[in-house]
Structure 1
Amino acid sequence: MKIQESVQQIYDAVGQAANVKSLTHCVTRLRFQLKDESIVDDEQVKAIPGVLGVNHQNGQYQVIIGNAVSDYYTALSKLWDFSEEKRIDNSTQTKEKKKIFDRFADFISACMSPLIPALIGGGMIKVIIIVLTTMGWLSTKTTTYSLLSAFGDAPFYFLPVELAFTAAKYFKVNPMLAVTVAGIMLHPNYTALVQAAKPASLMGLPVTLATYSSSVIPILMVVWAMKYVELGLDKVCPVSLKSIIKPLLEIFIVGVLALVVIGPLGSYAGNFLSWLVLLIQSKASWLTMALMAALMPLIVMTGMHWAFAPLFLTASIAHPDSLILPAMLIANVAQGAASLAVAVKAKNKETKQVATAAGISALLAGVTEPALYGVTLKYRRPLYAAMVSGGIAGLVMGIFNVRAFAFASPSLLALPQFINHTIPQNFISALIAAALALVLTFIVTLAFGFTEPKALDSITDQATVKQTPASGSQVTQKVYSPVAGLVSPLNKVADATFAEGILGLGIAIQPQDSKIYAPFNGQVTTILPTKHAVGLTSDTGIELLIHVGLNTVELQGKPYKTNVQVGDYFQTGDLLLEADLSAIKAAGYDPITIVVVTNTPDFIDIVPTTAESVIIKDVALYVI
């Protein structure tokens, strides 16, 4: 029977549009929210060709399809409009469950993260300009200098425009209208009024002449308000004229609010944050710098370093940053040094490779995520060593009152950001502090040591040998654990679809780490839009589903970050995705990770490990 015929039967069985409030889908099942589930005959639905089973959970009527679920969803969408406007937004419920701090951190991270490549690129151009002018190879009077400066300044000057776009996606408002309002705040006519410093008004309303170039908080507040303006206009605008009246009124209303009310408030908030931090620093700069350098890895983990963006994104000769960028330099160097120490001391060949690459990334590029999540946080003691040593080096940085005169992701290559012709000792002090962080962290990490997992080829203990099936002429393939954690039999999972093996045989792991790694060599075949599940196919034909959490499709992908795309080829141990376990638990969901072979019938047997716990590269499944 064709999919269309099965879909029609499903549609009829659930009561058609009259009984359906919303429909979404995850990697294996259609998720209906019905007005009345009692009118649906489960046995009738199960008998429909293509349906593997049904499940009632979390107010949803779930029809289990398997790998072809997206085809069924597409066909269902042709029978009824399941557009975003008619769906129930589960993310709203999720947000209500989250703490304010977590929501704010998610918001800042979601808006700032897409901008990082542009900011790093522009920052490095500014660093190169500093080097060229310092060495006398480029005159500040040439047009080349002026144009290169524009290259470096553009990502920062137009930061409100970039943030308007990312914030619009976060709040689900029209991104082009948000960008237009940001353009109003940067328009030459408005900036001319700011430079003239004379009283200004808009239709009799006083306009506070604040400078919004390179600002962060004002535009975020404006786009947040735009969300409610759009909702109001949707209700009052006549449908026949909405395409004309709505954008007209939205630009006018939000533009006025931006210049008269919200923009100035955001500017004051940013200035207050800067003033508060600088006030604390002025009272005990040495202590503030030490604490900031020591705690920076934890701050980066939460994404809260972007809350200080007004302080460091505008770093220049006229307005140097004497706290965040210097502290980040120390923290980044410490993370790199700790990773290199792990690489030197490790016996596992793969650990050496990962730690070396992570250390180079942190030291030379200022990108610490590979070091933080792949090495120091993973082994704990290297993280403590980096924090202790970073605090000591930060204390030295604070005593010397080191300042950064340009934004760039702090690293050894970006050290010229600390050069100032009139303060030559500033650069020397930065070098001394960075060298101290490098050497001290390396030594302390070696002294602290760490517990290293056994190399894959050294796992030959008796327990492992016993659980390897005797194959004779059969071929036994290994599926390695994609995450470290406690092992649980699949039939103990609180979800009938997995527990009954409807999707295939496998194993469940209660994760102790946020990273999901490739369990074999192969290709990415499926990634759910909600990012909580990936489908993989090994080079030898094993089709594997890795499903992180139960019912986590309802989180709309917010606690997840994918590091691969559909079609990507990967090697065993490559990072596939990351899951914020604390956020998943805080939202009331179980982060247990399901690993199942979805083409189980193609093999003689799927044998799970008998170990109570696994780490990365332990064998999780034997496929015969």
Structure 2
Amino acid sequence: MTAVNTTSEASTENKETIVNKLLGAISGSFAPILGVLAGSGLISALLSILITVGWLSKESGTYAILSAAGHAIFYFFPVFLGITLANKLGANGYVGGTIGAALLEPHYMDLVTSKAQDVTFLGIPILLANYSSTVFPILLAVSIYSVLDKFLKKVIYKDLQMFINPLISLVVIVPLTILIFGPFGTYVGEGLSVVIQFLSAKSGILTGAVMGAAWSFLTILGLHWAVIPIFLANLAATGLDPLMAMIAAAPFAQMGMGLGVLLKTKDKELKTLAASGLVPSALAGTTEIITYGILVRFKRTMIIVAIAGAIGGAINGAFGVKSTGFALPSFLSIPVFTPVGLFLLGTLTSLIVAMVLTLVMGYEGKNDLAPVKMVKNVIRETISSPLSGEIVPLNKMTDPLFSTGTVGKGVAIEPTKGEVISPVDGLVTTLFPTEHAIGITSEAGAEILIFVGVDTINLKGQYFTSKVKQWDKVKRGDLLIQFDIENIKAAGYDLKTPVVITNTNQYLDVVVIKDGTIHAKDELIRLDV
């Protein structure tokens, strides 16, 4: 096989844009928890209904326990996003989760709740803030952590990486998050507050249009929390707040877009996703399912939601609609706004415009990310070998991430042919930019990572050529990657290739059913449930 020193034109065309990489990281970090978001949102919706009809009191123990079940995922967002984003970026998910947990740890929270003054870290003043339910600080922190993790893997001796890398990462990233990343979001939010107050003083129509168009995107970045104190301050001062009525157009626009997708799409999983997002959005105002399951994946829906939100926000701003209390905008919270008729005019206009635009324009655009696959129960299946070569137990690998089973159970193969084929019918859910590793999710739910060689990421794609792109559907036996064995070995790299099941914890057992010599397409791993 000849050396591959240049990237083909087709490969160049398939490279992700910066926007797609950003949205892919955000949506990819939410994809694994969409199911629990849906369930939690439905609990909140159910509680709203029970309270409205008088069957349940907020002071009851029943409400407190069910509310805890419904709100836990939102309160501990930094922990869950720390895990999923780190995994998405190829870093250690448990370290990412620990970074998020540090923001909610009791010792730090005691400092926040006590409103202590002159708190410092190594003499550096700290801006204390409550980061529960936030998104932006942990997204920034884990993104920086993933860069640090890649550096540490290059410079730390392999046998020490298991504990030295997490030690250094936590000691560096957690203080930086509290000192810089978190406050940065706070300062950005304060800047937004100044802009919003300025616009509000000049024109209700202009402010409503800006707030209605921008609110969904502030939510994605987690910056909406910095604006909420303005709502509360207005309510405390006068008992009325005009800004909440303006931003209400945005979630109703998302509902309309979600309804349009539900009616238009033929994809069963996307239809299910849209339906599961509409119920908690309509009843409880929790739009996370639609936001992270649809909005960030299809760029055309962003334009639709911005247009519809701007129109509804401008209507509410022009007519001076106000809220009389703090509540997430939904159909059940309509009585909070006054005058109700004008509030309905603005919000339902947003909903209808978004739905019509989605039905007419469609929701998919060129190079959109693929629809999110909802997490589902796995079933028993057998994984074929993606390579021809010699079986090597994972514990013989020099990389501790694989040898210790941190990434998942499986096996390694010393390849004799420079081709990786698909071991299942499924979807390409991860393709490393260096083309040396690929992730496949089977139709039965198995998440398979094939990582060609040890430290071959340092080749930066040289001697590797991918034949597929992320989100391609593949059949068992389809060619995924070609690589030049001779040149990679000549460059001093070990080509033992782990084939691991990254969602091992969803299976009763992961059994390697072959040893010795194996050929591509031979049965390799049995997954028991």
Please give the TM-score of this superposition, normalised by the length of structure 2. Answer: 0.53
Residue number among 148, 172, 179 corresponding to 1:253 in the alignment: 172
Aligned to 2:256: 333
Quote the Cα distance in structure 2 between the aligned partners of 1:241 and 1:552. 27
CA distance in 1, matches of 2:304, 2:140: 39
Partner Cα distance (1:357, 1:213) in 2 = 29
Residues 213 and 227 (structure 1), Cα distance of their counterparts in 2 relative to 1, 3 Å cut:
same
**Residue 154 of structure 1 aligns to a residue in which SS?**
helix
- Verify: 1:150 aligned to 2:68, yes or no: yes
Q: Quick one: which of 109, 120, 134 aligns to 1:191?
A: 109
**Aligned equivalents of 1:233 and 1:547: distance in 2?**
28
Task: Give the corresponding residue for 1:226.
Answer: 145
On the 8 A contact 1:274/1:310 being kept in 2, the answer is no
CA distance in 1, matches of 2:126, 2:309: 45
**Corresponding residue SS for 1:147:** helix
Whole-angstrom CA distance in 2 between matches of 1:589 and 1:278: 52
> How far does residue 177 in structure 1 lie from its aligned partner after superposition?
1.8
In structure 1, the partner of 2:55 is 137
- 1:422-461 to 2 correspondences below 5 Å: 425=338, 429-437=342-350
Question: Could you say which residue in structure 1 is the equivalent of 2:515?
Answer: none
Greater mean alpha carbon deviation, residues 269-278 or residues 224-233 = 269-278
Give the partner amino acid of 1:125: I
2:44 and 2:280 in contact (8 A); partners too? no
Shift of 1:391: 5.3
TM superposition shift of 1:514: 8.2
Q: Deviations over 1:3-48 (max 9, x none)?
A: xxxxxxxxxxx6xxxxxxxxxxxxxxxxxxxxxx37xxxxxxxxxx
> Is the 1:160–1:214 Cα contact (8 Å) retained in structure 2?
yes
Quote the residue 1:307 is aligned against. Answer: 220
CA distance in 1, matches of 2:163, 2:422: 42
> What's the secondary structure of 1:253's corresponding residue?
helix
Would you say the 8 A contact 2:246–2:312 is kept in 1? no
1:248-270 CA-to-partner distances (Å, cap 9, x unmatched) read: 33322333323334433344345
SS of residue in 2 equivalent to 1:186: coil
- Which structure 2 residues correspond to residues 467-616 of structure 1 after superposition, within 5 A? 554=435, 564-565=443-444
**C-alpha separation in 2, matches of 1:598 and 1:393:** 51
CA deviation vs aligned residue, 1:282-331 (integer Å, no higher than 9, x gap) = 644434544665799xx8xxxx5653433169979958855555313134
Residue 163 and residue 429 in structure 1: after superposition, are their counterparts in 2 closer, same or farther (change >3 A)? Answer: farther
Return the alpha-carbon distance in structure 1 between the equivalents of residues 147 and 49 of structure 2. 47
User: Per-residue deviation at 1:112?
Assistant: 3.6
Question: Deviation string for 1:516-573 (max 9, x for gaps)?
Answer: 9xxxxxxx999999xxx99999xxxxxxx9999xx99949779xx9895469xxxxxx
Distance, in Å, in 2 between the alignment partners of 1:168 and 1:355 is 25
Deviation of residue 217 (structure 1)?
A: 1.8
Which of residues 406, 413, 416 is equivalent to 2:332? 416
Distance 1:252 1:450 in 2: 49
Describe the shift of the 1:291–1:213 C-alpha distance in structure 2 as closer, same or farther (beyond 3 A): closer
Q: Structure 2 matches for 1:248-287, cutoff 5 A?
A: 248-273=167-192, 276=195, 280=199, 283-287=202-206
User: How much does 1:213 deviate?
Assistant: 1.3
Residue from 93, 99, 112 that aligns with 1:175? 93
Provide the secondary structure at the position in 1 that maps to 2:132.
Answer: coil
Q: CA deviation at 1:222?
A: 1.9
| Distance across 2 between alignment mates of 1:128 and 1:417 | 14
Structure 1 residue 168 displacement after superposition:
1.0
3-state secondary structure, aligned to 2:223: helix
Change in CA separation of 1:242 and 1:535 when aligned onto 2, cut-off 3 Å:
closer
| Separation (CA, whole Å) in 2 of partners of 1:528 and 1:291 | 54
Asked if the contact 2:250/2:350 (under 8 Å) is kept, the reply is no
Where 2:332 maps in the other structure, the secondary structure is helix
Q: Distance in 2 between matches of 1:534 and 1:554?
A: 15
After superposition, the Cα gap between the structure-2 partners of 1:323 and 1:132, relative to the gap in structure 1 and judged at 3 Å, is same
State the identity as a percent: 24
* Contact 1:214/1:313 (8 A) holds in 2: no
Determine helix, strand or coil for the equivalent of 2:338.
helix
Other structure's SS at 1:307 match: helix
Q: Aligned partners of 1:229, 1:546: CA distance in 2, in Å?
A: 30
Deviations 1:37-83 (A, max 9, x none): 37xxxxxxxxxxxxxxxxx68459xxxxxxxxxxxxxxxxxxxxxxx
Unaligned runs of 5+ in 1: 1-13, 15-36, 39-55, 61-89, 344-349, 452-482, 485-510, 517-523, 538-544, 568-587, 600-624
C-alpha distance in 2 between matches for 1:267 and 1:179: 21
CA–CA distance in 2 between the matches of 1:148 and 1:263? 30
Q: Distance in 2 between matches of 1:386 and 1:136?
A: 34
User: Higher RCO, 1 or 2 (CA under 8 Å, sep at least 6)?
Assistant: 2
User: What residue in structure 2 maps to residue 160 of structure 1?
Assistant: 78
Report the residue type matching 2:96 in the other structure.
A
3-state DSSP of counterpart to 1:415: coil
Residue type of the partner of 1:183?
A
What do the CA deviations read for 1:436-465 (whole angstroms, capped 9, x no partner)? 4566788x789x9899xxxxxxxxxxxxxx
How far is 1:195 from its partner?
Answer: 1.8
Q: Per the alignment, do residues 220 and 563 of structure 1 end up closer, same or farther by CA in structure 2, a change over 3 Å counting? A: same
Q: 1:308 to 1:554 in 2, by over 3 A?
A: same
Give the conservation status (yes or no) of the 8 Å contact 1:217–1:267. no
Please tell me whether residue 211 in structure 1 is matched to residue 124 in structure 2. no
- In the other structure, the counterpart of 1:110 is 28
Mapped contact 2:254–2:351 kept (Cα < 8 A): no
Q: Is 2:111–2:128's contact at 8 Å kept on the other side of the alignment?
A: yes
Q: Greater CA radius of gyration, 1 or 2?
A: 1
- Residues 418, 427 of structure 1: 8 Å contact kept: yes
Q: Which residue of 1 aligns with 2:316?
A: 397
| AA in 1 matched with 2:250 | A
How far apart, CA to CA, are the structure 1 residues paired with 2:129 and 2:57? 32
The question of whether the paired residues in 1 share the 8 Å contact of 2:245 and 2:313 is answered with: no
Structure 1 stretch displaced more, 201-210 or 307-316: 307-316
What is the CA-CA distance between 1:337 and the residue it aligns to? 6.4
Contact 1:112 1:306 in 2 (8 A): no
Question: Judging changes above 3 Å, is the alpha-carbon distance between structure 1 residues 137 and 243 closer, same or farther for their aligned structure 2 residues?
Answer: same
Q: Are the equivalent residues in 2 in contact too, given 1:110–1:170 (CA < 8 A)?
A: yes
Does 382-391 or 282-291 show the bigger shift?
Answer: 382-391
Equivalent position amino acid for 2:141 in 1: V
Shift of 1:164: 0.9
* 1:285–1:148 Cα change, 3 Å: farther
Q: Which amino acid aligns with 1:212?
A: Y
